[in-house]
Chains A and B, each alone.
Chain A
Amino acid sequence: MSTINRIFETFKQYNLVKTFLLTLILTVVFLYLLSWPGCLLAATIGGFFTLRYSRAAIMGFLAGLSAWGILVGIHAAFGGIAVLELFGAIAGLTGMGEILAVIIVLIGGLLGLSGSLLGNAIFALIEPYVSKSGETTK
């Protein structure tokens, strides 16, 4: 079995929770390194290792939601809601800080969902070829 095939097989044995945790951690790291597009990349990797399309959607959404929720929550704990209040006020939405925070976290979830679906769909397409490659080298 090739190295890459062993990795796929390993992750397929992982349950959803482990993939979720992997995606969450990657999301935070990639957000830091690559800004918000990193969230898509992290979720794509996570989705790559999730067995089903629907599960990938749920896992990606929850991972993105959680990662952004944690980071936005940290900001909120130290005064970040005031920034959102200000941002909202500039846009003509006064007193909407908390609601904007929730919307931002939901956007994080949607980014995770999009990325993980992409990863899962890509894997579904290439899986037969990867498996075949694995059998050849067996």
Chain B
Amino acid sequence: MSSNVKKVGKLAIAIALVVSMTVVLSVPLDIIPPLGGLIDPFSGIWTVYQDADHPPHATVFAPGQLSAPVTVVRDSWGVPHIYAANDRDLYFTFGFIHAQDRLWQMDMKRRQARGMLSEILGSSYVSTDIYLRSLGMERAAQQSIDAMYSLTDTYNVTLRQNLEAYVHGVNWYIGQAGANLPIEFKLLNYQPKPWTLLDSISIGRIMDFSLSWSNDDLKFANTITQLGNDSAWELFPLNSPLQIPVVPEYGETYIPPPDLPDIAIPESLQITIDDVLSSVDNLPDPEGVLTRWKDDIVGSNNWAVNGTKSDTGKPILCNDMHLSRDVPSIWYQVHLVSADTHRNIYGFSLAGVPLLATGHTEYVAWGFTNTAADVIDWYYYKVNPANPNQYMYNETWLDFEVETTYIAVKDGSVIPHTIRRTIHGPVLSDVGVTYHDYALAQRWTGAEPSYEMIALDKMAMATNYNEFIEGQRFWWTISQNIVYADVHGTIAIRPTGHWPIRDGNGLGRLPHNGSAGDGEWIDFIDFEDLPLSLNPSRGYVVSANQLCAQQGPGAYPYYIHAGYAPGYRARRINYLLANDDNITVEDMKRFQLDVLDTSAEAFVPYIIWAFDNASTSITSDPMLSAAIDELRTWNYTMLQEWVAPTIYRAWFDFFWEQVFADEYPDDPTIRGSMLWPSPIVLENLTRFNPTSPWFNDTSTGTTETRDDIIIRAFSDAMTALEDEIGPNINQWTWDKFHFIVYTHQVGDALGHGPFPADGSGVTVNPSRVNMWARENGASQGGPSERLVVDFNDPEHAHSVIPGGQSGNPLSQHYSDQLFQLFLVGGYHIDYLYFDINDLTDRESILVLMG
């Protein structure tokens, strides 16, 4: 008996041990996956190093998928050069290669665009998914596909066959990957679903969201409420002063705005607006996709010179798109060659998207900057008190269009959510709240069908300007300043997109009374009527997110936008190009890396002037004198090792705050829901209106002028620097205050930085300044690529991305370009050889056999 008890006891101990081990190794903790699967010697995270780099020679068999073998040569930077006999084989292989190097990034982007984050990240992301789905990006992507598939001519049928081949290529990779998935899938414990064309098109929409979606109309309404009509329009003019527009042919002088609307917001509508503005801030936000646009760099530079300005007599085109500093890099470089169509293009692709966003061929090159065109309007409607399922439109109660969407969550649950739409678009005041007296909906071109695949394909196949614009006219969403240059000598820039024409005063700066039928979009501006600089006599074209064209009577007749960049980068680039008639490729690289701050160039003389005319108590202060001496000898370049950038930027922060903050409400919540003036407006006041009431501090009994505030800000800023670093002014170097960081969504360990950096938010090589937060305020936005194409030698353009080609953290190409090139101002060669035998830089060769 006692022997049996002993045996049972031993069994119990053994079972307890087995159960304990099983539980420890197989139970996930929130989104942390089961440990057993991660450490498994055969299928765990170990596969990550096995796939880190591609073998020198490999063959993949894809039976029935290819009509002829395809060769993929990866060069020493891991850039694939895909040589195929025809386009279908080419795009199948492109999909395969994208997935091979960036599968998790592709998956994450589609999940953002389609609102499927909670399926892998857990229930805390349900509200984010609801918001993303409410925006309507997935729906618009599907409508775009439907529109594309309704075109049955030979060109479009062939194009979509190519796109479908790309999708097959991605899925072929997923199917044969087995356990060899990227580390992120293992860490988050999920498998990729099959790829679809809807995923590819949706990814473009999330990019559009970052670049064109805005709630500035609501903030402007709040600004008018708080500051009054005249003050708000003075601080936020339609045509910002001191701008050199992208298309200066419509004039460079300041044009007063047209008749300005007044607005009186009912209290119940104000509640709705406040809820909508705060709802985004409270959402979990992977990669900052919902909020980063608000407080970091979203901009870009592009320019081109013609043969009269270049040393070779041929055009040179440059582009550096400023986006979030993501790891892996946003862009994936690739060279696509197809023998039968003579397709030969090298450029930047978004992982998951079959066509290159920007690129260059033997004939043409093009690049993008964001226009910040106003392609979104907000509409408010009275909700029927007797029936909350109805809203008033044109004095009639209409039913909301209702769609139920089902959100899958990581824990296996499925959460239904009802999206309501008005005649204009989704009701965003529904997100997070159940009922308002007013419904607030948006109409946004990003939520409407478009034809960007046709545009990108036609632009890539163009051999001259006329062919290029036949593609460009299909570029509707992600409104961009498209710079162009070709081997024939043509240069051009055209802000391009589907820009609405509104009824009434034509403006889209304030929420419209949807119930009254205000602010309807009555048409879109014809492509031929978009602003255009074509072969201008000055010999160059420039865009840096500044004002597209002066708007109003006597200038460009349509309203385009108001939320553009202050124009300091454009000012600098225009200066550099205007003053050099023998520009080389190396000059262009130098220009892209330029860190002269033209805002400093504008403001610093006023600081020195005010100091020299200040009271003795100021001029005799040793610390202030030493600081001003730094500014006197400064050439306005924002170099890390210098002290003057720190002094200037500290002063600017205090000056800007002291000029405007006293007129703004004290409540930080209200402040956060208002617009704040651009530095260019402050420069305009400083230069031309030194006694402006804005300089008066309303909290004192006296009347302050510009110079009073300049000196007070200077003194306060130097005291703050002394408190931060100490009294030794030589220690106040810029590298202690200005940082950049490259972030990966899974964790800091997969990212890079923070690193001290040259530049500021308005230098040509930009990185936002948040100096008082030091390392914690590192800029998460900046150049996402750099490209210089010289048409004297189009087979050897120069480019770089701030990262690498591979999404595998253990690959030598995960961050090789960042450390070996980008951070030290380097570039690599874009080999654009149509003949594979010319390509001798071969790190690995992959052959896909059908």
Q: In the complex the two chains form, is B21's CB within 8 Å of A111's CB?
A: yes
Q: Contact flags (1/0) for B1-22 with A, using CB distance below 8 Å?
A: 0000001101101110110111
Chain A contacts with B in 106-129, Cβ cutoff 8 A: 107, 110-111, 113-115, 117-118, 120-122, 124-125
**Do B37 and A83 have beta carbons less than 8 Å apart?**
no
| Docked complex Cα distance between A125 and B11 (Å) | 8
B39 touches A104 (CB 8 A): yes
Q: Are A72 and B41 in contact (CB under 8 A)?
A: yes
User: How many angstroms from the CA of A53 to the CA of B9 in the assembled complex?
Assistant: 12
| Chain B residues with CB below 8 A from A32, complex form | 42
Closest to A28 in B: B41
- Contact present for B49 and A121 (CB under 8 Å): no
Binding site secondary structure of chain B? helix
Which residue of A36, A79, A80, A90 contacts B25 across the interface (Cβ within 8 Å)? Answer: A36
Q: A114-B14, A118-B18 are in contact. List 7 more A-B contacts (CB 8 A).
A: A35-B42, A40-B18, A75-B46, A83-B183, A83-B810, A120-B10, A121-B13
Contacting pair B49 A80 (CB below 8 A)? yes
Taken together as a complex, chains A and B put the C-alpha atoms of A53 and B42 apart, in Å, by 30
**Which residues does chain B contribute within 8 Å of A37, judged by CB atoms?**
22, 26, 36
Contact A79 B49 (CB under 8 A): yes
Docked complex Cα distance between A78 and B48 (Å): 11
Q: Is the CB of A121 within 8 A of B42?
A: no
User: Which residues on B are within 8 Å of A, measured CB to CB?
Assistant: 7-8, 10-11, 13-15, 17-18, 20-22, 25-26, 36-43, 45-46, 48-50, 52, 183, 187, 746-747, 749-750, 809-810
Alpha-carbon gap, A94 to B17, bound state (A)? 31
A34 to B696, CA, bound (A): 76
- A:58-93 near B, CB below 8 Å: 68, 71-72, 75, 78-80, 82-83, 86-87, 89-90
Given the interface contacts A83-B49, A114-B14, A117-B13, does A71 sit within 8 Å of B42 by beta carbon?
yes
Q: Which residues of A contact B41 (CB under 8 A)?
A: 31, 68, 71-72, 75
A35 to B39, CA, bound (A): 10
Contact of A117 among B14, B37, B810 (CB under 8 A): B14
The 7 lowest CB-CB distance pairs between A and B, nearest first, are A89-B749, A71-B41, A121-B11, A117-B14, A118-B14, A114-B17, A79-B49
Q: Are A35 and B36 in contact (CB under 8 A)?
A: yes
- A53, chain B: closest CB distance, angstroms: 5
**Could you say which of B38, B40, B45, B809 has the most chain A C-beta atoms within 10 Å of its C-beta?**
B40
Mind listing 23 A-B residue pairs with CB under 8 Å? A31-B40, A36-B39, A37-B26, A40-B18, A71-B41, A75-B49, A83-B45, A86-B48, A86-B183, A87-B45, A90-B747, A90-B750, A94-B749, A111-B21, A111-B25, A114-B21, A120-B10, A121-B7, A121-B10, A121-B11, A121-B14, A124-B11, A125-B7
- Decide if B36 touches A86 in the complex (CB within 8 Å): no
Q: Are A90 and B749 in contact (CB under 8 A)?
A: yes
Q: Which residue of B lies closest to A71 (CB)?
A: B41
**A120 vs B11: C-alpha distance in the bound complex, in angstroms?**
8
Hey, which chain A residues are within 8 Å of B52, CB to CB? 79
Q: Which residues of B contact A87 (CB under 8 A)?
A: 38, 45
Is B17 in contact with A113, judged by CB distance below 8 angstroms? yes
B17/A117 in contact, CB under 8 A:
yes
What chain B residues lie within 8 Å of A113 (beta carbons)? Answer: 17
Q: Which residue of A lies closest to B186 (CB)?
A: A87
B279: shortest Cβ distance to chain A, in Å?
Answer: 31
Checking A68, A86, A94, A114 against B809 with a beta-carbon cut-off of 8 angstroms, the contacting residue is: A86
Minimum CB–CB distance from B78 to chain A (whole Å) comes to 17
CB distance from A23 to the nearest CB of B (A): 15
Spell out A's residues near B (CB within 8 Å). Answer: 31-32, 35-37, 40, 53, 68, 71-72, 75, 78-80, 82-83, 86-87, 89-90, 94, 104, 107, 110-111, 113-115, 117-118, 120-122, 124-125
Given the complex of chains A and B, what is the CA–CA distance between A90 and B7 in angstroms?
44
Residue ID in chain B nearest A124 by CB atoms: B7
Q: Shortest Cβ distance from A107 into chain B, in angstroms? A: 7
Given contacts A53-B10, A117-B14, A125-B8, contact A86 B40 (CB under 8 A): no
Instruction: Give Cα A82–Cα B43 distance, bound, in whole angstroms.
Output: 16
CB A106 to nearest CB in B, in angstroms, measures 11
Point out the residues of chain B lying under 8 angstroms from A104, CB to CB. Answer: 39
**B40, A36: Cβ atoms closer than 8 Å:** yes
A110 to chain B, nearest CB (A): 6
The residue of chain A having its C-beta at the shortest distance from the C-beta of B45 within the complex is: A83
Which residue of chain B has the shortest Cβ distance to A118 in the bound complex? B14
Of the candidates A78, A83, A110, A120, the one whose C-beta lies within 8 Å of that of B14 is A120
Say yes or no: B749 contacts A86, CB within 8 Å: yes
A7 and B831 alpha carbons, distance in the complex (Å): 68
Q: Nearest residue in A to B32 (C-beta to C-beta)?
A: A91
- CB closest residue in chain A, given B39: A104
Q: Are A40 and B49 in contact (CB under 8 A)?
A: no
- Measured CA separation A23–B50 after assembly (Å): 27
Q: Are B21 and A40 in contact (CB under 8 A)?
A: yes
Q: Chain A's nearest CB lies how many Å from the CB of B555? A: 54
Q: Which residue of chain A has its CB nearest to the CB of B8?
A: A125
Considering the complex, give the chain A residue whose CB is closest to the CB of B24: A107
A117 to B45, CA, bound (A): 29
Determine the chain A residues whose CB is within 8 A of the CB of B7 once the complex forms: 121, 124-125
How many angstroms between the C-alpha atoms of A124 and B37 in the bound complex?
32
Nearest A-chain residue to B15, judged by Cβ:
A118
Which residue of chain A has the shortest Cβ distance to B18 in the bound complex?
Answer: A114
A124 and B10 in contact, given A35-B37, A79-B810, A110-B21 (Cβ under 8 angstroms): yes
Which chain A positions have C-beta within 8 A of B8? Answer: 125
Contacts of A117 in B (CB 8 A): 10, 13-14, 17
Minimal beta-carbon separation of B476 from chain A (angstroms): 41
Cα distance, A117 to B747, chains bound together (Å): 40
Contact of A31 among B42, B48, B749 (CB under 8 A): B42
> What separation, in Å, do the CA atoms of A121 and B14 have in the docked complex?
7
List of B residues within 8 angstroms of A80 by Cβ? 46, 49
Contacts of A83 in B (CB 8 A): 45-46, 48-49, 183, 810
Contacts of A122 in B (CB 8 A): 11
Task: List chain A residues, Cβ under 8 A from B26.
Answer: 37
Distance in Å: Cβ of B158 to nearest Cβ of chain A: 43
Give the residue name and chain of the A residue nearest to B50 (CB): A78
Centre residue among A36, A71, A104 by max chain B CB count within 10 A? A36
In the complex where A80-B46, A83-B45, A117-B10 touch, is A35 in contact with B810 (Cβ < 8 A)?
A: no
CA distance A125 to B183 in the complex (A): 44
Alpha-carbon separation in the docked complex, A97 to B810 (Å): 14
Give the distance in Å from the alpha carbon of A36 to the alpha carbon of B35 in the complex: 10
Closest to B48 in A: A83
Q: Give chain A residues whose Cβ lies under 8 Å from the Cβ of B36.
A: 35-37
Q: How far is the CB of A115 from chain B (nearest CB, A)?
A: 7
A89–B45 Cα gap in the complex (Å)?
A: 14
**A118-B38 Cα distance, complex, nearest whole Å:** 25
Minimal beta-carbon separation of A26 from chain B (angstroms): 14
In Å, the complex CA distance between A107 and B21 comes to 9
Assembly CA distance A7 to B18 (angstroms): 25
Give the residues in chain A near B13, CB-CB below 8 Å: 117, 121
Contacts of B38 in A (CB 8 A): 87
In Å, the complex CA distance between A68 and B187 comes to 21
A31 to B41, CA, bound (A): 8
Q: What is the CA–CA distance of A75 and B36 in the complex, to the nearest angstrom?
A: 17
Contact indicator B22/A40 (Cβ below 8 Å): yes
Q: Closest B-chain residue to A104, C-beta based?
A: B39
Determine which residue in B36, B49, B810 has the highest number of CB atoms from chain A within 10 A of its CB, and name it. Answer: B49
Q: Bound state CA distance, A86 and B38, in angstroms?
A: 13
Give the shortest distance, in Å, between A39 (CB) and chain B (any CB): 9
Tell me, rounded to whole Å, the shortest Cβ–Cβ distance linking B328 to chain A.
14
Expressed in whole angstroms, the minimum distance between the Cβ of A33 and any Cβ of chain B is 9
